[in-house]
């Protein structure tokens, strides 16, 4: 796949938008995935190329979220391993099965996660917020991210918000960074065994890195619970769109 200057600029721009959306409302793929399809990639090639490039959103977010990540290294390590294992499992499933397993349940998963975020008192039962239970939940969500991915960040944010008693901006920073692990291991498998469009990775990744740097500055300036509510409303909109596409 050979890209012209206009296409390269378009992918960089799409990456910036996707990076900001990822770090603010957990919805990178609603900008980056359609951009790859528009430039002629097949759905599978667009999916795996998008996953490879998305690693750079997390890197940008990590650099841009230093205030929110202060004192969070333990949590990032704790849940990063579960995220990496889940991402690897999801990527392996994608490589050996048709990419349809999550299509019918994705709208429901995203809608439930968004509803959890809209409910101010939403929280997991005490026995589920323990280390082992939460790691298991993070692992399962990471499988979804590695396999299908649509609005996976919304689901992860909802899970962490319900289990970790911190401000939305700090929880969002954890979500952004542990997402690196899921995307990295999935990207490694895709690089070896899937049709990654490498010419599209570089410009898209450049934009995602820039967007990842910009997004945390926006998120930390949102007042009160605006970040949580904005993510929930965006997630519900995606759930409705996916539901209409899937069931009609």
- pLDDT (0 to 100) of residue 1: 61
Helix (H, G, I), strand (E, B) or coil at 45: helix
Which of 106 and 183 is assigned the larger pLDDT?
A: 183
The average pLDDT across 77-104 equals 84
The average pLDDT across 56-78 equals 92
- pLDDT (0 to 100) of residue 203: 96
The average pLDDT across 221-240 equals 87
- pLDDT (0 to 100) of residue 112: 85
Q: What is the mean pLDDT of the chain?
A: 87
Least confident of 84-93, 123-132, 158-167, 203-212: 123-132
- pLDDT (0 to 100) of residue 149: 75
Query: pLDDT tens across 139-167, in order?
Result: 999 998 888 777 888 889 989 988 888 88
Percentage above 70 pLDDT, the chain = 93
Both tokens of residue 90? 């999801």
Helix (H, G, I), strand (E, B) or coil at 141: helix
Query: pLDDT tens across 171-221, in order?
Result: 999 999 999 998 899 889 989 999 999 999 999 999 999 999 999 999 888
**What's the number of domains the chain is made of?**
1
Q: Distance between CA 140 and CA 155 in Å, rounded?
A: 10
- Domain of residue 108: give its range: 5-247
- pLDDT (0 to 100) of residue 213: 95
Rg (CA), the chain: 17
State the Cα torsion 155-142-68-28 to the nearest 10°.
Answer: -70
């Amino acid at each position: 796949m050979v890209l012209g200057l206009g296409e390269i600029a378009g992918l960089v721009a799409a990456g910036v938008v996707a990076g900001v959306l990822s770090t603010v409302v957990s919805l990178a793929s609603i900008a980056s995935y359609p951009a790859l399809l528009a430039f002629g990639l097949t759905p599978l090639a667009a999916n795996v190329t998008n996953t490879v490039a998305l690693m750079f959103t997390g890197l940008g977010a990590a650099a841009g979220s230093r205030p929110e990540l202060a004192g969070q290294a333990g949590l990032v390590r704790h849940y990063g391993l579960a995220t990496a294992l889940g991402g690897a499992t999801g990527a392996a499933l994608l490589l050996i099965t048709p990419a349809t397993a999550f299509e019918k349940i994705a709208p429901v998963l995203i809608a439930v996660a968004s509803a959890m975020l809209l409910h101010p008192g939403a929280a997991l039962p005490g026995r589920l917020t323990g280390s082992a239970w939460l790691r298991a939940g993070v692992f399962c969500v990471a499988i979804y991210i590695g396999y299908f991915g649509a609005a996976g960040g919304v689901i992860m944010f909802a899970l962490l918000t319900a289990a970790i008693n911190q401000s939305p901006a700090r929880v969002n920073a954890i979500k952004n960074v542990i997402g690196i692990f899921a995307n990295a291991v999935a990207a490694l498998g895709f690089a070896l065994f899937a049709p990654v469009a490498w010419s599209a990775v570089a410009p898209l990744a450049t934009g995602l890195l820039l967007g990842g740097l910009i997004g945390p500055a926006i998120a930390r300036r949102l007042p009160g619970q605006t970040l949580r509510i904005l993510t929930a409303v965006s997630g519900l909109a995606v759930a409705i769109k996916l539901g209409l596409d899937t069931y009609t």
